[in-house]
A and B are shown apart, each in its own frame.
Chain A
């Protein structure tokens, strides 16, 4: 029942959206909460950009959890085409139909094999034809080519797909659409025009502490703060791949497993591979951050 779902999520204010996201484990900052709120109110897609690992995809997942909607995900890659993203005719079934219905006239068969029974739905089609409203995540849109973007335009502005043989298929329910991009190429104006824009960046110290504590509550407060500060130092370096929020959380859990009480040089060097995953980065981080940390007092002697 869509009414209930909407009541659970879209009714109310920005603060309520923020709360409901927090309840499902996503601490949104003000802009993210506001844009999520607007997306539901205005029924417009959201384009989320930002560096890798700041929780762009997670935002869509959290929206799906918070609203109780199913998440339909389309992972983009180079060479993705409409057969894999929207719909495809089921050739085999069509052939079988032609061979099986020998006695029927060609006219009947022709009408029949181009009906929705012979259509294989792919994520985009699935999202708009779903009887329940869904959250549609189009992940890493910048990985596709421009033609694919152009193909999305109809879906994004009118929530409909045109199939030449069948005509237009309009959405029965209004999906929340989230597009993510790592900014590896400029998206077209036409696409941006149809979306709300949200730039996610690495969170500030206080918010990241909250995030880490939410996911690794057993870690002591002081150690969490230390961890986030060290992560901040690592991110400040010019790395090939700066540590993401997910990696901060992983690191927190690792420290728990190791039973560490403080982040000293030894602990850091042992567990550094959790947050830094490039050989040249490891050298740089060990030199710049590792050296600043104190020697382990008890174990060193």
Chain B
């Protein structure tokens, strides 16, 4: 019997060729599909490693595979996601293939284990047990209880949509994250951790899926991991941690790029004094030339950030970028502006918490002006008078703004002066390129003087920008 062949979802529901080796190769193939670089040598290592561990322990099996295949934190995250999914699917496909059905054969195993018999369980009682298991962090027990909960609320009675059923069961059990109301008897209950609740939901989901597969005899189609599962969130209102991670990655990339650029002392200047001194070791023969060390370029960076209402959504993103940049670069001065400009370097340096920074900037930044409309022309004038002495060819100026002047004088000639004094000037615009120069946007007037103008409203754009600045090739969109 081959229900897989008749599956409307195509050949993916097939169990594939038998044997573990084929399964592992299939798994590696899926990993590659998700962008993990799994080479042949890694697969060979994985097989070698599996010869050394007990297969009966899932933890060992998984760790042995992970140690040989997933060679960075990001890869590891994808690995974890895929491992569960792949082997779950493989097992289920096999079960369907062999016509096994837990609903008939193994029914009641979990119920008897809990002493509940075949009766419908008391909802409160079950809820309490689940709380206990969550507090203890007992995964196996949670899994059993999840099955029990599904049994209690009727197998196959649900809507058929797994996500909906998970939430329905969770609500019926009265489980919510956060602090808990006391029981009727007045006992205090420990708060439920969000992560533990998610773990329970995961078990519910898995068991419901298993149920569904049993009933329909087909596997749902295998989808590539949603970007959301593993990638950084890409909306402007993304959380701070994601931006920090992105900037962290950029910092790492910058560090590597810097080294590539510096190369291996090529064209370095000979340090005569040190060479002569070293030659004493070899009886006055200058066998080894000593070079003057090349100092890496440590540029001063000036960041100007628009925080007006027209970029409200983007300015949260920009402020978090600023916040993260301050972590990574020491010589960084930051300014925020609406109608006027104001230096906020101190705020960022002394305050580590982003919420406080944002609040401080809005309250005492000195930019919360009457109209709330940006006046770019005035900003350049003020920036130039305040900073002009410090600007030199080694400094880099980065402007974060939408170049919407609200009909005011853009003073592009002043901007040109800024550009002339600074070594490099970049503009990051939170609007898509399509909208530039429409309405009151005067991007073209400024763009002429920039060393580069980029659209930037996601972390990917940001990475792209950093690549360009660091001298790399712009990443493909």
Name A residues whose Cβ lies closer than 8 Å to a Cβ of B. Answer: 13-14, 30-31, 34-35, 37-38, 41-42, 44, 47, 49, 79, 91-92, 95, 145-147, 183-186, 189, 192-199, 237-240, 280-281, 284
Question: Could you say which of B49, B60, B76 contacts A199, with CB atoms under 8 Å apart?
Answer: B76
List 13 contacting pairs A-B, 8 Å CB cutoff, sorted by A: A34-B63, A34-B67, A42-B49, A49-B72, A91-B281, A91-B287, A186-B256, A189-B37, A195-B71, A197-B70, A238-B352, A239-B352, A284-B353
Chain B residue nearest to A79 in the complex (CB): B293
B352 touches A199 (CB 8 A): no
A280-B67 contact given A42-B52, A186-B253, CB 8 Å threshold: no
Bound-complex Cα distance A185 to B70 (A): 17
Chain A residue nearest to B253 in the complex (CB): A186
Going nearest first, the 8 A-B pairs with the smallest beta carbon separation are A192-B71, A197-B71, A185-B255, A196-B67, A41-B52, A34-B63, A145-B259, A185-B252
Bound-complex Cα distance A13 to B67 (A): 17
A49 touches B252 (CB 8 A): no
Contacts A42-B45, A49-B72 given; 20 further ones with Cβ under 8 A?
A30-B60, A34-B63, A35-B67, A37-B53, A44-B45, A91-B282, A92-B281, A92-B282, A146-B256, A183-B73, A186-B253, A186-B256, A192-B72, A193-B42, A194-B41, A196-B49, A197-B66, A197-B72, A199-B76, A280-B349
| Secondary structure call for the B interface | helix
B167 smallest CB distance to A (angstroms): 29
A184-B259 contact given A37-B52, A280-B350, CB 8 Å threshold: no
A10 smallest CB distance to B (angstroms): 10
A34-B53 contact given A95-B283, A147-B264, A196-B67, CB 8 Å threshold: yes
Bound-complex Cα distance A146 to B350 (A): 35
Interface residue tally for chain B (C-beta within 8 Å): 38
B61 smallest CB distance to A (angstroms): 10
B259 touches A199 (CB 8 A): no
Chain B residues with Cβ under 8 A from A185's Cβ? 252-253, 255-256
Bound-complex Cα distance A30 to B60 (A): 8
**Total A-B Cβ pairs within 8 A:** 93
Chain B residue nearest to A98 in the complex (CB): B283
B437 smallest CB distance to A (angstroms): 38
A95 touches B282 (CB 8 A): yes
B39 contacts A by Cβ under 8 Å: yes
Question: Could you say which of B52, B253, B259 contacts A38, with CB atoms under 8 Å apart?
Answer: B52
B73 touches A284 (CB 8 A): no
Bound-complex Cα distance A186 to B287 (A): 36
B193 contacts A by Cβ under 8 Å: no
B262 smallest CB distance to A (angstroms): 8
B71 touches A38 (CB 8 A): no
Query: From residue 255 to 280 of chain B, which have CB atoms closer than 8 A to chain A?
Result: 255-256, 259-260, 264
B67 smallest CB distance to A (angstroms): 5
Bound-complex Cα distance A49 to B74 (A): 12
